[in-house]
Structure 1
Amino acid sequence: MTNKKMTAREVALTALDRVRRRGAYSNLQLNQLLSKHQLNDNDRRLATRIVYGTLQRQLTLEYWLQPFVKGKKLDSWVETLLLTALYQYQYLERVPDWAVTDETIEIAKQWGNPGIRKFVTGVLHAVLRQGFPRFDQLRDESERLAVQFSVPRWLVDELVSQYGQSQATRVLQSVNDPARLVVRVNTAVTDLATVESQLRAAGIEFQKSRVAPNALVITKGELLGSALFATGQITVQDESAMLAVDSMNVQPGDRVLDACAAPGGKTVQIAERLDPATGGRVDALDIHEHKTKLIQKNASRMHMADRVVTHTLDARRVADEFADETFDKILVDAPCSGIGLLRRKPEIRYTKSLADSQKLHKIQGSILNAVAPKVKKGGIITYSTCTILQQENEQTVQEFLAAHSDFRLLTTKTSRNLKDDRASATLTILPADYGSDGFFISNLQRIL
């Protein structure tokens, strides 16, 4: 392997091998390599599709590959190369098998020795000749679901236990769908109709969101380099993530605490609803200074700097900074396992464990306990996460209520009246419900 300019498949292989071998972040690796090697648009899309698709389907691909390598110890990059080939054979319908085969063998030749090239050639020809192993050969239902949808066994068992077999299967089917690009319109500086008109003029195609107000789902076109984004008229935010603030009923003169704020998407969403002239302000916390700078940068781009105050502070230490009963509203968008984001961050499924979820549950409880005295009587704490595991959601809320008789649980309401026929007061959006991220929202009112 040399420092020559890489092809799309070499970029994908390099990024994937770093993610699988070192635990690197897929988006950072891919963006770095794409910047360095200056691929054309089609090749950028191909590299991106291979990286995220192979990560999403990793357990499935490993199951398919296993009979053809028969436990042979492979160099990391060779195994990754074979997995990318299997992904392309099975999931990239517009790419002919011969092209995948030729390019994969060429990479094996360039990166390895003649023995590796011969081995890779033999495996690929055997796969095309014999076909892919069937999932129904797996008799254990949980193992079959884990392999078929490429989700670890522990997570399959948790989803089935918490949501039942049918609902869990719907969720598992949905998490390998492509993630959608969604923007929220900054109504403090423009309006939905104006942005729609400008998007059409730029040749960008979109649909209105079914989930959140002032949100548009982008279906075609390059958006992030647009003037709309640069001038803060829009920001990228998933529809489900918009719902926490949507449910808060923020008033112009409210003093609001965003206790776990970085990178600041919800901070500026809150700020849009505030009027500094009447005392409206949001205090945004993060434990890391470089992240509070990100919040400030985001607030400036969105023209919200006059109503956002950042603090480098652990949310569990709010007593060091704020007096009791300071805030009308508090948002705790808590650190969580991120299981609702599997579509957007595919490697999460392989790096998280049940123990991680249980540990996070304790951290979430400690944050809620710390901020509780800081909300005024009659004020509301909105507790939200981007996971769908109940130990981090319902269980965290119920434990908080059991320890705080001065709070009651309100029914979470949204502008679009989502799932208003549900039995629970809290709101859980599953990835299978609307094609958006998985999300949980609850509203806790201080009554004493």
Structure 2
Amino acid sequence: MTTPDQNPRSLAVTALMRIQKGAYSNLQLNQTLDDAHLETRDANLLTNIVYGVIQHELTIDYQLKPFIKKPNKLQPWVKVLLETAIYQWQYLERVPKRAIFNETINIAKVRGHEGIRRFVTGVLHQMDRTGLPDPAEITDRTQRWSIQYSVPEWLITTLIDQRGAEKTEAILNVINQPANQSVRVNRTRLTVAEATAQLTADGYDVTPSAVSENGLVLHGKPANHSELFKRGDITIQDESAMLPAESMHVTANQEVLDACAAPGGKTVQLAENVDESAGGQVTALDIHQHKVRLITQNAKRMGLSDRVDALTLDARKVDDAFADGMFDQILVDAPCSGIGLVRRKPEIRYEKQLRDSEALAKIQLTILDAVANKVTINGIITYSTCTILNQENRDVVAAFLADHPGFISQRVQTANALKADRESDYLEIYPDDYGSDGFFISQFKRVR
């Protein structure tokens, strides 16, 4: 039997408790893995349990509720332990039920006292005898989908209202599936074909991205273990997140402003296309100094430091730093609710409310208002978010164009001609479209 600090199931309980108290799931999981030095099999189990419990939290709590008679007296870690047991039992087909129950009872014994061990044992045996309640039996559709897919009812109601029931169910069907591991090739270093060949030789299963021309989807080892990543020849980036910079079609001599840049993935993507000797440069802003350091580090790792000028500045205060008409293109990858990222950051769905989207939309418009005069005549502002709600996307576009008659909408065009038959100028990517994150991209051309 592994010791508690090496037991992946016990470590999962610890990590989930910290995430409940406000830690980011990806950062907490990485910290736990770094500290524990687990074998690959145990590390995978830990990762699976942590993300799985978060993804299916509403479903699991619905199934657990009948077995907890006095929830207010239950220690939080004991509830989390039982949640991990249900997740493993219901979602991990290769793990025998006997092993799950035995490990759960042992963790209760090690972490608690005899009374907790008896309680956990009793709950597990009662679940086994009676079975778990089936969410499919819930008659109300919104409530049923909320429990089945573990998504708050407000979000389901909003999506049905904006996208219709069929599209909403298609989105819900994919958001609890594992996110693709995708990378973008640094074209200043090598071609996509060269990167594919080297990654394949390094033991990865490599598939070209259907979304972005310089993207690859990897299966096998973590991408950051590859030599190409360590050398800065590739960077880890979701396929959808590659599209805003790609759609800008930046040329070598252009001055570009990345107004909300940290941690710098899109900054370095833009920088690959400019040439300092031709007058090209990318100016990257973030309001927090420690995040500006991340941009600088990212540019250095990718060998693009000479093309990037990273500054600590609130994008709403660009008047303090830049002359009007200074930039050929501006990217506003705006702060947003992140609802398009729920597959990659599952806790987002529980943390946000519709009022958050409405408040963020006001911030987005303020940033767009601030940078509008900084782009030259015939220059382009690209506005993007990683959410799928109208409040932060379509409504912001309509408001900006209504308030700025000197700008017109420009059709967003990507290298792979995504959704070429769409009626809108803006481009909307949903999690069920290509298996990538949800994203929104719109472009405004300054005509006077």
TM-score, normalization by structure 1: 0.98
Distance in 2, Cα, partners of 1:316 & 1:223: 35
Q: Is 2:377 the counterpart of 1:377? A: yes
Give the number of aligned pairs.
446
Letter in 2 for 1:59: L
Per the alignment, residue 306 of structure 1 pairs with 306
Per the alignment, residue 42 of structure 2 pairs with 43
Letter in 1 for 2:400: F
Q: How does 1:71-110 map to 2 (within 5 A)?
A: 71-73=70-72, 74-110=74-110
Deviation at 1:157, TM superposition (A): 0.8
Deviation at 1:196, TM superposition (A): 1.2
Q: Is 2:333 the counterpart of 1:333? A: yes
Per the alignment, residue 402 of structure 1 pairs with 402
Q: Is the 8 A contact 1:85 1:100 kept in 2?
A: yes
Per the alignment, residue 62 of structure 1 pairs with 61
Q: How does 1:40-439 map to 2 (within 5 A)?
A: 40-73=39-72, 74-439=74-439
Distance in 1, Cα, partners of 2:189 & 2:28: 35
Deviation at 1:125, TM superposition (A): 1.2
Distance in 2, Cα, partners of 1:383 & 1:113: 55
Distance in 1, Cα, partners of 2:199 & 2:422: 36
Q: Is the 8 A contact 2:378 2:447 kept in 1?
A: yes
Q: Deviations over 1:71-124 (max 9, x none)?
A: 532110000000010000011011000000000000011111111111111111
Report the more deviating stretch, 383-392 or 122-131: 122-131
Gapped regions of structure 2 (runs ≥ 5): none
TM-score, normalization by structure 2: 0.98
Aligned sequence identity (%): 53
Distance in 2, Cα, partners of 1:231 & 1:37: 27
Report the more deviating stretch, 26-35 or 338-347: 26-35
Letter in 2 for 1:28: L
Distance in 1, Cα, partners of 2:385 & 2:26: 22
Q: Deviations over 1:20-48 (max 9, x none)?
A: 2x121112222222222211110000000
Q: Is the 8 A contact 1:204 1:222 kept in 2?
A: no
Q: Is the 8 A contact 2:334 2:383 kept in 1?
A: yes
Distance in 2, Cα, partners of 1:329 & 1:264: 17
Q: Is the 8 A contact 2:199 2:226 kept in 1?
A: no
Distance in 2, Cα, partners of 1:5 & 1:246: 44
Distance in 2, Cα, partners of 1:277 & 1:136: 63
Report the secondary structure of 2:5's partner residue. Answer: coil
Letter in 1 for 2:110: Q
Deviation at 1:12, TM superposition (A): 0.6
Distance in 2, Cα, partners of 1:72 & 1:62: 11
Letter in 1 for 2:51: Y
Q: Is the 8 A contact 2:136 2:148 kept in 1?
A: no
Structure 1 residues 4 and 148 mapped into 2: Cα distance closer, same or farther (>3 Å)? closer
Report the secondary structure of 2:408's partner residue. Answer: strand
Distance in 1, Cα, partners of 2:111 & 2:6: 12
Distance in 2, Cα, partners of 1:426 & 1:12: 41
Q: Deviations over 1:183-220 (max 9, x none)?
A: 00000111111111111111111111111011110111
Q: Is the 8 A contact 1:206 1:220 kept in 2?
A: no
Q: Is the 8 A contact 1:11 1:34 kept in 2?
A: no
Structure 1 residues 6 and 221 mapped into 2: Cα distance closer, same or farther (>3 Å)? closer
Q: Is the 8 A contact 2:181 2:223 kept in 1?
A: no
Deviation at 1:4, TM superposition (A): 5.5
Distance in 2, Cα, partners of 1:16 & 1:200: 35
Distance in 2, Cα, partners of 1:199 & 1:288: 35
Q: Deviations over 1:330-385 (max 9, x none)?
A: 00000000000000001111111111111000000000000000000100000000
Letter in 2 for 1:423: E
Distance in 2, Cα, partners of 1:136 & 1:110: 36
Deviation at 1:137, TM superposition (A): 2.8
Distance in 2, Cα, partners of 1:199 & 1:68: 49
Distance in 2, Cα, partners of 1:227 & 1:166: 43
Letter in 2 for 1:187: R
Deviation at 1:221, TM superposition (A): 2.2
Q: Is the 8 A contact 2:379 2:446 kept in 1?
A: yes
Q: Is the 8 A contact 2:267 2:282 kept in 1?
A: yes
Distance in 2, Cα, partners of 1:4 & 1:385: 41
Report the more deviating stretch, 335-344 or 198-207: 198-207
Report the secondary structure of 2:164's partner residue. Answer: helix
